[in-house]
Amino acid sequence: MALARLVLTDFRNHRDALLAPRPGLVVLTGENGAGKTNVLEAVSLLSPGRGLRGASLSEMARGGGGGFAVAARLGDVEIGTGTEPRAPERRQVRINGASASATSLSEWLSVLWLTPAMDRLFQEGAGGRRRFLDRLVLALEPGHAVHAARYEAAMRARNKLLAEQGPRDEAWLSALEARMAEHGAALASARARAVDLLSARLASAPEGPFARAGLALEGGGGDLEIELARGRARDAAAGRALVGPHRTDLAVTHLAKSQPAGLCSTGEQKALLLSIVLAHADLVAERSGRRPILLLDEVAAHLDPRRRAALFERLEAGGGQVWMTGTEAALFGEVGPAATRFEVVDGAIL
């Protein structure tokens, strides 16, 4: 699974950029603000969701207005996404020239990423960890995106109905809660399967420069349909559903220390995230025959030389396409000659 061509049109600070990377490691270097992370964000939009920044579509258009386009070639498949000026928040997706849904992208491409913003994943709320987990699940089970979208749609409709004044349509509420329970059960099961598979792989991994992580799910359980029906008054007062898989948390433990990730040092947390992502890439490759594309933003700057060299060695041995950014070419001195290297200067690719 590798992009052979990537074209950005009016995306962020890139007016018209063309990249033709080879499989394997792809290194982008340049000063802060040159547009390196923007390239990674463009790649992340070739999968379901709002990309690695979680930004609105209108923010991605060059100059903060109008439309943009991201197009890529994956083998003999052409994938594209973007917006038009007249509808800056309406995402369009095309696969081989035909219109498609954003969720269908997961059938063609799996993309995972680590960014500096994720360094606080274990200190902040459960939402970020849940999104991280769902990205891992999606690479293993592409149908996860459909269940997530339908669950969210039913939950939004239920919240809106509960907020209305006057008599409520009880039958419609029950139907929405049944839909939430159906798709919520699918979400919970997929997450549990992914955590079990990944936990087993992490537990059996040899000791190395990256801390081994233990994974567990917190929250959930019980009959969701019954709990939602009983909690209507409570949820109406809160303005949101207070039970369901949208409240699940991913608990991560440093196995060697038997210590929650939130209590580990910043360097240890970074190592834990890397161990999870690398083990997951191996798991996806083993089960599907397709290694996901990895996007590692500014990853080398926060690793000591030993871990940095070990990371590059592991990535090169694992295969697959890995996009990495950094401000200095020297940070990637241990990367082999087969890597594709680009310099990014003020939105231009050299």
Is the pLDDT assigned to residue 182 strictly greater than 90?
Answer: yes
- Can you read off the two tokens belonging to residue 291? 């290694």
Which has the closest alpha carbon to 46: 277, 286, 293, 278?
A: 293
Mean pLDDT of the chain: 92
Topology of the domain comprising 120-265:
Glutathione S-transferase Yfyf (Class Pi); Chain A, domain 2 (1.20.1050)
- Please compute the mean of the pLDDT values over residues 23-30 and round it to a whole number: 96
The torsion region of residue 289 among left (phi > 0), alpha (psi -120 to 50) and beta comes to left
Tell me how crowded residue 230 is: count the other CB atoms within 10 A of its CB. 12
CA proximity to 1, closest of 96, 115, 113, 77: 77
User: Which pLDDT does position 238 carry in this prediction?
Assistant: 96
Report pLDDT for 220: 77
pLDDT digits (tens, 9 = 90+) for 250-271: 999 999 899 999 999 888 888 8
Distance CA 33, CA 347 (A): 9
Token readout for 24 is 């394997």
Percentage of the residues of the chain whose pLDDT score is greater than 70: 99
The three-state secondary structure class of 81 is strand
pLDDT in tens, 183-229: 999 999 999 999 999 999 998 876 677 788 999 999 877 899 999 99
Specify the pLDDT at position 82.
96
Contact 121, 269 (CB under 8 A): yes
Residues in contact with 107: Cβ distance below 8 Å, sequence separation at least 6, in sequence order:
142
Residue 194 confidence (pLDDT): 96
Instruction: List pLDDT tens digits, range 71-85.
Output: 999 999 999 999 999
Per-residue pLDDT band at 1 (split at 50, 70, 90)? confident
- Map out the domains of the chain as residue ranges: 120-265
Q: What is the pLDDT of residue 161?
A: 95
- Residue-wise pLDDT tens digits, 290-327: 889 999 999 887 788 888 888 999 899 888 999 999 99
Task: Identify the band that residue 103 occupies on the pLDDT scale cut at 50, 70 and 90.
Answer: confident
What is residue 14's predicted lDDT score, i.e. its pLDDT? Answer: 97
Cβ partners under 8 Å of residue 209, min gap 6: 271, 306, 307, 310, 311
Lowest mean pLDDT among 140-149, 165-174, 207-216, 230-239: 207-216
With beta carbons less than 8 A apart as the criterion, state whether 26 and 299 touch.
no
Provide the strand spans (E) within the chain: 5-11, 14-19, 25-29, 68-74, 77-84, 87-95, 98-100, 111-114, 213-218, 249-254, 259-260, 293-296, 322-326, 340-345, 348-349
pLDDT at 18: 97
Over 80: is that where the pLDDT of 64 sits? no
Tokens of 72: 């890529």
pLDDT at 318: 85
**∠ CA(133), CA(114), CA(345), 5° rounding?**
150
Q: What is the pLDDT of residue 266?
A: 84
Task: Tell me what pLDDT residue 203 has.
Answer: 85
Determine the straight-line distance between the first and last CA of the chain, rounded to whole angstroms. 24
Instruction: With a cut of 90, say whether residue 53 has pLDDT above it.
Output: yes
Give 3-state DSSP helix, strand, coil % of the chain, rounded to 5: 45, 25, 30
Q: Using alpha carbons, select from 194, 208, 200 the residue that is nearest to residue 274.
A: 208
Residue 4 in tokens: 């052979």
Q: H or E segment at 315?
A: helix 305-318
